Protein backbone atom coordinates (compact mmCIF):
# COMPACT_ATOMS: atom_id res chain seq x y z
CA UNK A 1 0.00 0.00 0.00
CA UNK A 2 1.35 3.43 -0.91
CA UNK A 3 2.58 5.45 2.01
CA UNK A 4 2.31 9.18 2.33
CA UNK A 5 3.64 11.61 4.95
CA UNK A 6 1.51 14.74 5.36
CA UNK A 7 2.85 17.64 7.37
CA UNK A 8 0.66 20.49 8.64
CA UNK A 9 2.35 23.69 9.79
CA UNK A 10 1.29 25.93 12.67
CA UNK A 11 -1.05 28.11 10.62
CA UNK A 12 -2.83 24.99 9.31
CA UNK A 13 -3.58 23.79 12.87
CA UNK A 14 -3.98 27.19 14.52
CA UNK A 15 -7.32 26.36 16.19
CA UNK A 16 -9.89 23.58 16.52
CA UNK A 17 -11.64 24.54 13.27
CA UNK A 18 -8.37 24.46 11.29
CA UNK A 19 -7.40 21.13 12.85
CA UNK A 20 -10.72 19.65 11.70
CA UNK A 21 -10.13 21.08 8.22
CA UNK A 22 -6.66 19.51 8.10
CA UNK A 23 -8.13 16.23 9.41
CA UNK A 24 -10.53 16.21 6.45
CA UNK A 25 -7.55 16.46 4.05
CA UNK A 26 -6.05 13.45 5.82
CA UNK A 27 -9.39 11.63 5.59
CA UNK A 28 -9.46 12.24 1.81
CA UNK A 29 -6.02 10.66 1.41
CA UNK A 30 -7.14 7.77 3.61
CA UNK A 31 -10.15 7.24 1.36
CA UNK A 32 -7.71 6.93 -1.57
CA UNK A 33 -6.19 3.95 0.23
CA UNK A 34 -2.93 5.48 1.43
CA UNK A 35 -1.06 4.46 4.56
CA UNK A 36 -0.66 7.77 6.35
CA UNK A 37 1.75 9.43 8.74
CA UNK A 38 0.67 12.93 9.77
CA UNK A 39 3.27 15.34 11.19
CA UNK A 40 2.00 18.44 12.98
CA UNK A 41 3.58 21.63 14.26
CA UNK A 42 2.49 23.54 17.35
CA UNK A 43 -0.83 25.35 17.04
CA UNK A 44 -0.55 28.87 15.62
CA UNK A 45 1.82 31.05 17.63
CA UNK A 46 2.01 28.77 20.63
CA UNK A 47 5.79 28.27 20.33
CA UNK A 48 6.33 32.03 20.52
CA UNK A 49 3.93 32.26 23.45
CA UNK A 50 5.85 29.54 25.31
CA UNK A 51 9.17 31.34 24.67
CA UNK A 52 7.65 34.51 26.05
CA UNK A 53 6.32 32.61 29.09
CA UNK A 54 9.83 31.26 29.81
CA UNK A 55 11.31 34.74 29.56
CA UNK A 56 9.01 35.82 32.41
CA UNK A 57 10.87 33.60 34.87
CA UNK A 58 14.34 33.51 33.33
CA UNK A 59 15.99 36.05 31.05
CA UNK A 60 18.47 33.53 29.64
CA UNK A 61 16.61 30.22 29.71
CA UNK A 62 18.61 26.99 29.81
CA UNK A 63 18.23 25.33 26.38
CA UNK A 64 17.45 21.93 27.93
CA UNK A 65 14.53 23.28 29.96
CA UNK A 66 13.35 25.43 27.06
CA UNK A 67 13.13 22.27 24.95
CA UNK A 68 10.98 20.56 27.62
CA UNK A 69 8.70 23.59 27.49
CA UNK A 70 8.56 23.98 23.70
CA UNK A 71 7.94 20.27 23.11
CA UNK A 72 4.52 20.67 24.75
CA UNK A 73 3.35 22.74 21.77
CA UNK A 74 3.51 19.83 19.31
CA UNK A 75 2.26 17.39 21.95
CA UNK A 76 -0.96 19.42 22.16
CA UNK A 77 -1.25 19.31 18.36
CA UNK A 78 -0.80 15.52 18.01
CA UNK A 79 -3.52 14.69 20.51
CA UNK A 80 -5.85 17.28 18.99
CA UNK A 81 -5.22 15.91 15.47
CA UNK A 82 -5.70 12.29 16.62
CA UNK A 83 -8.96 13.27 18.36
CA UNK A 84 -10.11 15.15 15.24
CA UNK A 85 -9.36 12.15 13.01
CA UNK A 86 -11.19 9.86 15.45
CA UNK A 87 -14.19 12.19 15.39
CA UNK A 88 -14.27 11.62 11.60
CA UNK A 89 -14.47 7.89 12.28
CA UNK A 90 -10.84 7.09 11.49
CA UNK A 91 -8.39 5.05 13.54
CA UNK A 92 -5.57 7.33 14.69
CA UNK A 93 -2.85 7.31 17.30
CA UNK A 94 -0.54 10.08 18.41
CA UNK A 95 3.21 9.82 18.97
CA UNK A 96 5.55 12.33 20.57
CA UNK A 97 8.97 12.67 18.92
CA UNK A 98 10.55 10.25 21.41
CA UNK A 99 7.66 7.77 21.03
CA UNK A 100 8.06 7.95 17.23
CA UNK A 101 11.72 6.97 17.62
CA UNK A 102 13.21 10.27 16.46
CA UNK A 103 16.73 10.21 17.87
CA UNK A 104 18.82 13.36 17.74
CA UNK A 105 22.17 14.72 18.81
CA UNK A 106 22.54 16.77 22.02
CA UNK A 107 22.23 20.30 20.62
CA UNK A 108 19.22 21.55 22.56
CA UNK A 109 17.23 24.08 20.54
CA UNK A 110 18.85 23.12 17.23
CA UNK A 111 19.23 19.36 17.38
CA UNK A 112 19.96 17.30 14.29
CA UNK A 113 18.09 14.05 13.64
CA UNK A 114 20.60 11.19 13.74
CA UNK A 115 18.30 8.27 13.10
CA UNK A 116 14.65 7.22 13.15
CA UNK A 117 13.73 3.98 14.92
CA UNK A 118 10.40 3.53 13.24
CA UNK A 119 9.25 0.17 14.65
CA UNK A 120 6.43 1.65 16.76
CA UNK A 121 5.18 3.62 13.77
CA UNK A 122 5.40 0.53 11.54
CA UNK A 123 3.31 -1.41 14.06
CA UNK A 124 0.76 1.39 14.17
CA UNK A 125 0.51 1.49 10.36
CA UNK A 126 0.16 -2.28 10.21
CA UNK A 127 -2.77 -2.01 12.62
CA UNK A 128 -4.44 0.25 10.08
CA UNK A 129 -4.00 3.39 12.17
CA UNK A 130 -3.10 6.85 10.97
CA UNK A 131 0.06 7.70 12.91
CA UNK A 132 0.12 11.31 14.09
CA UNK A 133 3.65 12.44 14.98
CA UNK A 134 4.89 15.55 16.76
CA UNK A 135 7.15 17.58 14.52
CA UNK A 136 10.11 19.65 15.73
CA UNK A 137 11.10 17.32 18.58
CA UNK A 138 13.11 14.23 19.37
CA UNK A 139 15.14 12.57 22.08
CA UNK A 140 18.90 12.34 22.57
CA UNK A 141 20.74 9.21 23.72
CA UNK A 142 20.10 10.18 27.37
CA UNK A 143 16.31 10.21 26.81
CA UNK A 144 16.28 13.99 27.05
CA UNK A 145 13.77 15.92 24.96
CA UNK A 146 15.35 17.96 22.19
CA UNK A 147 13.93 20.36 19.61
CA UNK A 148 15.13 20.90 16.05
CA UNK A 149 14.90 24.67 15.73
CA UNK A 150 12.60 26.85 13.63
CA UNK A 151 10.91 24.93 10.84
CA UNK A 152 12.07 21.64 12.37
CA UNK A 153 8.72 19.96 11.69
CA UNK A 154 9.57 19.92 7.97
CA UNK A 155 12.72 17.97 8.82
CA UNK A 156 10.72 15.54 10.98
CA UNK A 157 8.36 14.93 8.06
CA UNK A 158 11.19 14.27 5.59
CA UNK A 159 13.07 12.03 8.05
CA UNK A 160 9.92 9.95 8.58
CA UNK A 161 9.22 9.78 4.84
CA UNK A 162 12.74 8.46 4.32
CA UNK A 163 12.62 5.98 7.22
CA UNK A 164 9.19 4.66 6.22
CA UNK A 165 9.93 4.70 2.48
CA UNK A 166 6.95 6.92 1.74
CA UNK A 167 6.21 7.69 -1.90
CA UNK A 168 5.96 11.39 -1.11
CA UNK A 169 6.05 13.96 1.67
CA UNK A 170 3.31 16.59 1.40
CA UNK A 171 4.05 19.81 3.27
CA UNK A 172 0.79 21.67 3.89
CA UNK A 173 1.03 25.34 4.71
CA UNK A 174 -0.84 28.59 4.04
CA UNK A 175 0.73 29.14 0.60
CA UNK A 176 0.05 26.87 -2.33
CA UNK A 177 3.60 26.27 -3.52
CA UNK A 178 7.06 27.69 -4.05
CA UNK A 179 7.06 31.15 -5.62
CA UNK A 180 9.74 33.16 -7.36
CA UNK A 181 9.66 35.28 -4.22
CA UNK A 182 7.39 35.67 -1.17
CA UNK A 183 3.96 36.34 -2.72
CA UNK A 184 2.89 38.17 0.43
CA UNK A 185 5.38 40.93 -0.28
CA UNK A 186 5.56 40.90 -4.08
CA UNK A 187 2.18 40.51 -5.73
CA UNK A 188 3.67 39.60 -9.10
CA UNK A 189 5.54 36.57 -7.73
CA UNK A 190 4.98 33.48 -9.86
CA UNK A 191 4.49 29.95 -8.66
CA UNK A 192 6.92 27.26 -9.81
CA UNK A 193 5.46 23.95 -10.94
CA UNK A 194 8.53 22.06 -9.79
CA UNK A 195 12.06 22.75 -8.59
CA UNK A 196 15.20 20.70 -7.95
CA UNK A 197 16.36 19.95 -4.40
CA UNK A 198 19.51 21.95 -5.08
CA UNK A 199 17.77 25.14 -6.11
CA UNK A 200 15.18 24.75 -3.35
CA UNK A 201 18.01 24.33 -0.85
CA UNK A 202 19.67 27.50 -2.16
CA UNK A 203 16.34 29.37 -1.86
CA UNK A 204 15.74 28.10 1.70
CA UNK A 205 19.34 28.85 2.74
CA UNK A 206 18.93 32.35 1.32
CA UNK A 207 15.98 32.95 3.64
CA UNK A 208 12.86 31.76 1.80
CA UNK A 209 10.62 30.87 4.75
CA UNK A 210 8.52 28.40 2.88
CA UNK A 211 10.66 25.33 3.63
CA UNK A 212 13.35 24.68 6.20
CA UNK A 213 16.83 24.30 4.63
CA UNK A 214 17.74 21.22 6.69
CA UNK A 215 14.61 19.44 5.53
CA UNK A 216 15.51 20.08 1.87
CA UNK A 217 19.08 18.94 2.49
CA UNK A 218 17.72 15.74 4.02
CA UNK A 219 15.25 15.23 1.17
CA UNK A 220 18.12 15.63 -1.31
CA UNK A 221 20.25 13.12 0.59
CA UNK A 222 17.45 10.55 0.99
CA UNK A 223 15.74 11.29 -2.35
CA UNK A 224 12.33 11.98 -0.73
CA UNK A 225 9.92 13.73 -3.08
CA UNK A 226 8.39 16.84 -1.47
CA UNK A 227 5.16 18.55 -2.44
CA UNK A 228 4.44 21.99 -1.08
CA UNK A 229 0.66 22.42 -0.90
CA UNK A 230 -1.97 24.67 0.64
CA UNK A 231 -4.35 23.53 3.36
CA UNK A 232 -6.84 25.95 1.92
CA UNK A 233 -6.72 24.57 -1.64
CA UNK A 234 -6.37 20.84 -1.04
CA UNK A 235 -7.25 20.09 -4.69
CA UNK A 236 -4.16 21.96 -5.92
CA UNK A 237 -1.02 19.83 -6.17
CA UNK A 238 1.31 22.77 -5.37
CA UNK A 239 5.02 22.65 -6.16
CA UNK A 240 7.02 19.46 -6.46
CA UNK A 241 10.59 19.45 -5.09
CA UNK A 242 12.49 16.62 -6.67
CA UNK A 243 15.79 15.56 -8.18
CA UNK A 244 17.60 17.56 -10.87
CA UNK A 245 16.70 14.94 -13.48
CA UNK A 246 12.99 15.47 -12.91
CA UNK A 247 12.90 19.25 -12.44
CA UNK A 248 13.57 22.05 -14.90
CA UNK A 249 16.84 23.92 -14.50
CA UNK A 250 16.20 27.63 -14.10
CA UNK A 251 18.67 30.37 -14.92
CA UNK A 252 17.07 32.39 -12.12
CA UNK A 253 14.36 30.56 -10.18
CA UNK A 254 13.74 33.11 -7.49
CA UNK A 255 14.68 35.97 -5.23
CA UNK A 256 14.94 35.47 -1.47
CA UNK A 257 15.41 37.88 1.37
CA UNK A 258 16.88 37.06 4.78
CA UNK A 259 16.36 39.68 7.50
CA UNK A 260 17.38 37.40 10.32
CA UNK A 261 21.10 38.05 9.92
CA UNK A 262 23.71 40.27 11.49
CA UNK A 263 26.54 41.89 9.63
CA UNK A 264 29.87 41.79 11.43
CA UNK A 265 32.93 43.87 10.65
CA UNK A 266 36.17 43.30 12.49
CA UNK A 267 38.79 46.01 11.98
CA UNK A 268 42.15 44.70 13.12
CA UNK A 269 44.95 46.86 14.46
CA UNK A 270 48.04 46.79 12.29
CA UNK A 271 51.02 44.63 13.09
CA UNK A 272 53.02 46.71 15.60
CA UNK A 273 56.18 45.81 13.68
CA UNK A 274 54.78 47.60 10.66
CA UNK A 275 58.23 47.68 9.17
CA UNK A 276 57.62 44.05 8.31
CA UNK A 277 59.33 41.57 10.56
CA UNK A 278 58.45 38.36 8.79
CA UNK A 279 58.25 36.43 12.02
CA UNK A 280 55.72 38.84 13.54
CA UNK A 281 53.72 38.87 10.32
CA UNK A 282 53.61 35.10 10.38
CA UNK A 283 52.40 35.04 13.99
CA UNK A 284 49.70 37.54 13.11
CA UNK A 285 48.58 35.56 10.05
CA UNK A 286 48.38 32.47 12.19
CA UNK A 287 46.14 34.20 14.72
CA UNK A 288 43.83 35.36 11.95
CA UNK A 289 43.82 31.87 10.47
CA UNK A 290 42.80 30.63 13.90
CA UNK A 291 39.84 33.05 14.03
CA UNK A 292 38.74 31.99 10.54
CA UNK A 293 38.91 28.34 11.55
CA UNK A 294 36.72 28.96 14.60
CA UNK A 295 34.21 30.93 12.54
CA UNK A 296 34.13 28.01 10.12
CA UNK A 297 33.22 25.70 13.01
CA UNK A 298 30.26 27.95 13.78
CA UNK A 299 29.11 27.67 10.17
CA UNK A 300 30.56 30.94 8.85
CA UNK A 301 32.66 29.74 5.94
CA UNK A 302 35.79 31.51 4.73
CA UNK A 303 34.47 31.86 1.19
CA UNK A 304 31.73 34.11 2.59
CA UNK A 305 34.12 36.27 4.58
CA UNK A 306 35.42 39.36 2.89
CA UNK A 307 39.04 39.93 3.89
CA UNK A 308 40.53 43.35 3.27
CA UNK A 309 44.29 43.59 3.25
CA UNK A 310 46.39 46.53 4.34
CA UNK A 311 49.19 45.33 2.08
CA UNK A 312 49.97 42.19 0.20
CA UNK A 313 50.14 40.12 3.38
CA UNK A 314 48.37 41.78 6.27
CA UNK A 315 44.62 41.29 6.63
CA UNK A 316 43.22 44.48 8.14
CA UNK A 317 39.50 43.75 8.10
CA UNK A 318 37.09 40.80 8.16
CA UNK A 319 33.52 41.35 7.07
CA UNK A 320 30.68 38.84 6.91
CA UNK A 321 27.09 38.20 7.82
CA UNK A 322 25.84 35.40 10.07
CA UNK A 323 22.53 34.05 11.28
CA UNK A 324 21.09 35.92 14.24
CA UNK A 325 20.86 32.56 16.01
CA UNK A 326 24.64 32.27 16.30
CA UNK A 327 25.48 35.98 16.63
CA UNK A 328 26.08 35.72 20.39
CA UNK A 329 28.60 32.92 19.88
CA UNK A 330 30.30 34.82 17.04
CA UNK A 331 30.53 37.92 19.21
CA UNK A 332 32.09 36.11 22.13
CA UNK A 333 34.54 34.38 19.79
CA UNK A 334 35.60 37.71 18.27
CA UNK A 335 35.74 39.47 21.63
CA UNK A 336 38.17 36.81 22.71
CA UNK A 337 40.20 37.11 19.50
CA UNK A 338 40.40 40.91 19.84
CA UNK A 339 42.45 40.56 23.00
CA UNK A 340 45.26 39.47 20.72
CA UNK A 341 44.90 42.57 18.54
CA UNK A 342 45.13 45.68 20.74
CA UNK A 343 42.90 48.58 19.69
CA UNK A 344 40.97 46.50 17.17
CA UNK A 345 37.29 47.20 16.63
CA UNK A 346 34.14 45.10 16.14
CA UNK A 347 31.14 46.62 14.39
CA UNK A 348 27.84 44.79 14.52
CA UNK A 349 24.83 45.75 12.44
CA UNK A 350 21.49 44.01 12.97
CA UNK A 351 19.67 46.43 10.67
CA UNK A 352 20.54 44.59 7.48
CA UNK A 353 18.92 42.25 5.00
CA UNK A 354 20.51 39.90 2.51
CA UNK A 355 18.89 39.78 -0.91
CA UNK A 356 19.77 36.73 -3.01
CA UNK A 357 19.02 35.60 -6.53
CA UNK A 358 18.98 31.84 -6.97
CA UNK A 359 19.55 29.81 -10.10
CA UNK A 360 21.97 27.59 -11.88
CA UNK A 361 25.09 29.48 -12.68
CA UNK A 362 24.16 32.91 -11.29
CA UNK A 363 27.33 33.00 -9.24
CA UNK A 364 29.64 32.64 -12.21
CA UNK A 365 27.69 34.78 -14.65
CA UNK A 366 29.30 38.20 -14.69
CA UNK A 367 26.37 39.57 -16.70
CA UNK A 368 23.93 38.66 -13.93
CA UNK A 369 26.20 40.14 -11.31
CA UNK A 370 26.32 43.43 -13.14
CA UNK A 371 22.57 43.42 -13.70
CA UNK A 372 22.03 42.87 -9.97
CA UNK A 373 24.31 45.76 -9.02
CA UNK A 374 22.80 48.05 -11.65
CA UNK A 375 19.25 47.24 -10.60
CA UNK A 376 20.03 48.05 -6.97
CA UNK A 377 21.94 51.14 -7.90
CA UNK A 378 19.11 52.43 -10.12
CA UNK A 379 16.72 51.90 -7.21
CA UNK A 380 19.18 53.85 -5.01
CA UNK A 381 19.67 50.89 -2.69
CA UNK A 382 23.11 50.99 -1.03
CA UNK A 383 24.95 47.66 -1.19
CA UNK A 384 27.52 46.84 1.47
CA UNK A 385 28.62 43.33 0.51
CA UNK A 386 28.29 40.97 -2.39
CA UNK A 387 28.79 37.25 -1.94
CA UNK A 388 28.16 34.11 -3.93
CA UNK A 389 27.42 30.46 -3.31
CA UNK A 390 27.08 27.63 -5.79
CA UNK A 391 23.54 28.55 -6.84
CA UNK A 392 23.17 32.03 -5.41
CA UNK A 393 24.39 35.57 -5.58
CA UNK A 394 23.69 37.81 -2.59
CA UNK A 395 23.84 41.50 -1.76
CA UNK A 396 23.67 42.92 1.74
CA UNK A 397 21.49 46.04 1.97
CA UNK A 398 20.13 48.17 4.84
CA UNK A 399 17.00 46.53 6.32
CA UNK A 400 14.76 49.48 5.46
CA UNK A 401 15.58 49.00 1.76
CA UNK A 402 14.69 45.33 1.68
CA UNK A 403 11.15 45.63 0.22
CA UNK A 404 12.20 47.86 -2.63
CA UNK A 405 15.32 45.74 -3.24
CA UNK A 406 13.34 42.50 -3.46
CA UNK A 407 10.70 44.10 -5.66
CA UNK A 408 13.18 45.60 -8.13
CA UNK A 409 15.46 42.54 -8.28
CA UNK A 410 12.41 40.32 -8.76
CA UNK A 411 11.07 42.59 -11.48
CA UNK A 412 14.43 42.46 -13.23
CA UNK A 413 15.03 38.70 -13.04
CA UNK A 414 11.69 36.97 -12.53
CA UNK A 415 8.92 39.14 -13.94
CA UNK A 416 8.70 36.92 -16.97
CA UNK A 417 7.76 33.26 -16.50
CA UNK A 418 10.76 31.75 -14.80
CA UNK A 419 13.06 30.81 -17.57
CA UNK A 420 13.93 27.17 -17.69
CA UNK A 421 17.35 26.55 -19.15
CA UNK A 422 16.41 22.94 -19.75
CA UNK A 423 13.22 21.05 -19.08
CA UNK A 424 13.47 17.29 -18.72
Among 75, 205, 242, 375, binds a second copy (CB under 8 A): 75
Strand ranges across the sheet with 130-134: 92-95, 130-134, 35-40, 3-8, 168-173, 226-230, 239-242, 194-196
Binding part of the chain for a second copy, among 52-60, 220-228, 267-275, 389-397 by CB under 8 A, reads: 52-60
Q: Which CB atom, from 95 or from 179, has the smaller least distance to a second copy?
A: 95
Does residue 48 interact with a second copy by CB under 8 A? no
Packing angle, helices 213-222 and 197-205, rounded to 10: 160
Main-chain phi, psi angles of 24, to 5 degrees: -70, -35
Closest by CA to 128, choosing from 30, 24, 5, is 30
Q: Which CB atom, from 82 or from 202, has the smaller least distance to a second copy?
A: 82
Provide the total of helices (H) and of strands (E) in the chain, helices listed first.
11, 22
Closest by CA to 134, choosing from 187, 88, 71, is 71
Quote the CA–CA distance of 201 and 279 in Å, as a whole number. Answer: 44
Quote the CA–CA distance of 280 and 302 in Å, as a whole number. Answer: 23
CA 140 to each of CA 105, 107, 116, 363: distance values in angstroms, whole numbers, following the listed order: 6, 9, 12, 39
Does residue 62 interact with a second copy by CB under 8 A? yes
Does residue 168 interact with a second copy by CB under 8 A? no
Q: Determine the size of the site formed for a second copy (CB under 8 A).
A: 36
Among 71, 100, 192, 256, binds a second copy (CB under 8 A): 71
Among 2, 28, 48, 65, binds a second copy (CB under 8 A): 65
Q: Which CB atom, from 53 or from 310, has the smaller least distance to a second copy?
A: 53
Closest by CA to 172, choosing from 17, 358, 24, is 24
Does residue 53 interact with a second copy by CB under 8 A? yes
Binding part of the chain for a second copy, among 84-92, 377-385, 386-394, 399-407 by CB under 8 A, reads: 84-92
Q: What string marks each residue from 11 to 30 as x (binds a second copy by CB under 8 A) or -?
A: -----x--xx--x-------
Binding part of the chain for a second copy, among 77-85, 107-115, 226-234, 274-282 by CB under 8 A, reads: 77-85
Q: How far is the CB of 28 from a second copy (least distance, A)?
A: 17
Q: Which CB atom, from 96 or from 176, has the smaller least distance to a second copy?
A: 96
**In sequence order, what DSSP letters do the residues of 303-348 get, joined into one string?**
GG-EEEESSSS-EEEEEEEEEGGGHHHHHHHHHHHHTTSTT-EEEE
Does residue 54 interact with a second copy by CB under 8 A? yes
Q: What string marks each residue from 88 to 117 as x (binds a second copy by CB under 8 A) or -?
A: -----xx-x--x------------------
Does residue 1 interact with a second copy by CB under 8 A? no
Closest by CA to 253, choosing from 237, 239, 234, is 239
Among 1, 32, 143, 278, binds a second copy (CB under 8 A): 143
Three-state DSSP state, 104: strand
230, 208 in Cβ contact below 8 A?
no
Quote the CA–CA distance of 70 and 96 in Å, as a whole number. Answer: 12
Q: How far is the CB of 244 from a second copy (least distance, A)?
A: 41
Q: Which CB atom, from 145 or from 264, has the smaller least distance to a second copy?
A: 145
Closest by CA to 321, choosing from 302, 345, 333, 305, is 305
Binding part of the chain for a second copy, among 75-83, 202-210, 228-236, 359-367 by CB under 8 A, reads: 75-83
271, 280 in Cβ contact below 8 A?
yes
Binding part of the chain for a second copy, among 53-61, 110-118, 261-269, 336-344 by CB under 8 A, reads: 53-61
Binding part of the chain for a second copy, among 55-63, 227-235, 297-305, 368-376 by CB under 8 A, reads: 55-63
Does residue 251 interact with a second copy by CB under 8 A? no
Q: How far is the CB of 169 from a second copy (least distance, A)?
A: 24
Beta bridge partners of 101: none
Question: Which positions lie near a second copy, rule CB under 8 A?
Answer: 16, 19-20, 23, 50, 53-54, 56-59, 61-62, 64-66, 68-69, 71-72, 75-76, 78-80, 82-84, 86-87, 93-94, 96, 99, 143, 145
Amino acid sequence: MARLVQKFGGSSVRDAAHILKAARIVADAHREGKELVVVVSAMGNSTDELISLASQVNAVPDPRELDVLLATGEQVSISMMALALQSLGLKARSFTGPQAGILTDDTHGYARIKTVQASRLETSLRRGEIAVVAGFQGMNRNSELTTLGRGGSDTTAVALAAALKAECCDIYTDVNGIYTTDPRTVGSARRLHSISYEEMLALASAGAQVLNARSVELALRTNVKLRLRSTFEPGDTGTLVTSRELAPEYQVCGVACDSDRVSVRLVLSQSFASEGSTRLDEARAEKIENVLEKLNQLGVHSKNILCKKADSINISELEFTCENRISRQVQSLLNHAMEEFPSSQMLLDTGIARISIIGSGVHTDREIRNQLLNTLSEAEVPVSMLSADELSLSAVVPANFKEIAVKEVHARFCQESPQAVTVH
